[in-house]
A = this chain, B = another copy of it.
Amino acid sequence: MKNINLTLSVALFAACIILAGCQPQPEQPTGNQPEVNQDDTRVIKQFFDEALTTRETYQLLDHLCNNIGHRLSGSEGAAAAVEWTEKVMTDYGFDKVYKQDIMVPNWKRGDKEIARIVGSKGDLSVLALGMSVATPAEGLTAEVVEVQGLDDVEALGQENIEGKIVFYNRPTDQRLIQTGAAYGGAVDQRSAGPAMAARYGAVGVVIRSVGTAFDDVPHTGVTSYRDSIPKIPAAALGVLSADRLTEALKQNPNTKLFLKMNCQTLEDAPSHNVIGELTGSEFPDEIITIGGHLDSWDVGQGAHDDGTGCMQSIQVLRLFQKLGIQPKRTIRAVMFMNEENGTRGGLKYAELAEKNSENHLIALESDGGAFSPRGFGVTAEDATIEKFRSWLPHFDQNTISYIKKGGGGVDIGPLNRTLGTPTIGFIVDSQRAFDVHHSPADVFSSVHPRELELGTASIAGLIYLIDKYGL
């Protein structure tokens, strides 16, 4: 009877395969060579198991996004996030939890911006750029000069720019597979475009949002002025709004834009980096840093950018703890403050590391969002990169499939420049990142729990191997 039933099960299952719609796909290795320490593979598998089943990174991120919200430097949200992450790490019982004091820029958006094509119905979708000055209280109206980049402004010169609003409208390059590269190729319009336009007498700047989606979500981000040049108000238009403006200019080259922005920069405010540590058992003075940045822009919830990196860093330490692994070296989870508009946290961290003669083995930053892992970028000696590559077989290739030369993060850059510390950037699938980056769309509901947790476990895996074997 048992045998008959077993036969039935097998037959039914076979029928299911033939009749399709089920396609069982046994989990199998994906081509990586197998000559690695199987104990290490088992530990790393446990990181993944724990992260994927408890989803604790996701739970923390939920709290950060939905109970605290966005966290621009100097804001109440940023202060609440400092307090809360300190408590979270204290409650986990990490060996040390402490803060580093810093002073941060204190920019306020003020009332919602307005951008409107004069004579047209309906406002444009707009967000002031971070650190921008305000328009006059009654707003600003001027003709618009559309350009494709900073070079155009130089070529047009003062006679064509003076008294106008410069409209930077060069789109991101959709051909680039890594959207970070597409962003990098267009962001000079935002970061340096306003100062360049001001140099030639422009009275304001609007840019086409630096993102990858064809929608009307405006993307903010920092802009930088020059002390010797007047500061002019600068804002980002949603991509569809930018298209509306360019269309209006085609119809009428004398189209005027009305812009009203209410931002201001207050005195620098006190804030903090927040640090949790597991103390090394053999080499407590050798420090491995894992970090993200706790501040975000003042729209959305800073879920991908970069609540994710912070919650992942905390969870890497928790995974060690949960599995009963005491690291040989000291591992720090660092919530850096003020990545978005000043890097004061990263600069302070490096300054204190130098002042205290700390020995930093390596630092890793996660700041690409809560998307599926793809690889690590490593700024280190070739031998280290080769060593990391020899560890690839520990990872399912649907998580970490490559180690590339070159990588790090904005917050750990100063450590590299000051102490020469090697750095690692955690690389995720970037296709959706710049749809939400620096925008109201960067919210918790856009985070997939499994993609987020795969990131946590991938980072934990690499850090475990570095801690055990060194560089």
* A383 touches B (CB below 8 Å): no
* A226 touches B (CB below 8 Å): yes
Residue A399 contacts which of B177, B221, B389, B399 (CB distance < 8 angstroms)? B177
For A191-228 the 0/1 string (1 means CB < 8 A from B) is 11001100100000000000010000000011010100
Number of interface residues of A (CB under 8 A): 89
Contact B406 A397 (CB under 8 A): no
* A254 touches B (CB below 8 Å): no
CB distance from A52 to the nearest CB of B (A): 5
Chain B residues near A27: list those with CB within 8 A: 176-178, 181
Which residues A35-69 have CB closer than 8 A to chain B? 48-49, 52-53
A-B contact pairs, 16 of them (CB 8 A): A2-B154, A8-B195, A12-B191, A12-B196, A12-B224, A15-B192, A16-B222, A20-B341, A21-B410, A22-B222, A23-B183, A27-B181, A31-B389, A31-B403, A177-B399, A398-B427
Q: How far is the CA of A234 from the CA of B30 in the complex (A)?
A: 36
- Report A's interface with B, CB cutoff 8 A: 2, 5, 8-9, 11-13, 15-16, 18-32, 48-49, 52-53, 130, 150, 154, 174-181, 183-185, 187-188, 190-192, 195-196, 199, 212, 221-222, 224, 226, 339-343, 346, 367, 372, 374-375, 389, 396-399, 401-406, 409-411, 427, 429-432, 438, 448, 450-451, 454
Contact B410 A397 (CB under 8 A): no
Contact A25 B180 (CB under 8 A): yes
Contact B340 A398 (CB under 8 A): no
CB distance from A167 to the nearest CB of B (A): 18
Q: How far is the CA of A10 from the CA of B182 in the complex (A)?
A: 19
Name the CB-closest residue of B to A451.
Answer: B431
Q: How far is the CA of A150 from the CA of B176 in the complex (A)?
A: 49
Contact A21 B221 (CB under 8 A): yes
Q: How far is the CA of A154 from the CA of B21 in the complex (A)?
A: 25
Contact B196 A19 (CB under 8 A): no
Residue A175 contacts which of B53, B346, B429 (CB distance < 8 angstroms)? B53
Residue A12 contacts which of B23, B195, B342 (CB distance < 8 angstroms)? B195
Chain B residues near A29: list those with CB within 8 A: 404
Contact A431 B454 (CB under 8 A): yes
Chain B residues near A224: list those with CB within 8 A: 12, 15-16, 19
Name the CB-closest residue of B to A1.
Answer: B154
CB distance from A334 to the nearest CB of B (A): 15
Contacts A9-B192, A431-B451 known; 20 new A-B pairs at CB < 8 A: A8-B195, A9-B154, A12-B196, A19-B191, A19-B342, A19-B343, A20-B340, A21-B130, A21-B221, A23-B184, A25-B181, A27-B176, A31-B389, A31-B405, A52-B174, A52-B175, A177-B454, A212-B450, A375-B397, A429-B429
Contact A196 B9 (CB under 8 A): yes
Contact A372 B431 (CB under 8 A): yes
Residue A22 contacts which of B2, B191, B429 (CB distance < 8 angstroms)? B191
Q: How far is the CA of A28 from the CA of B176 in the complex (A)?
A: 10
Name the CB-closest residue of B to A425.
Answer: B25
Contact B13 A192 (CB under 8 A): yes
Chain B residues near A212: list those with CB within 8 A: 450
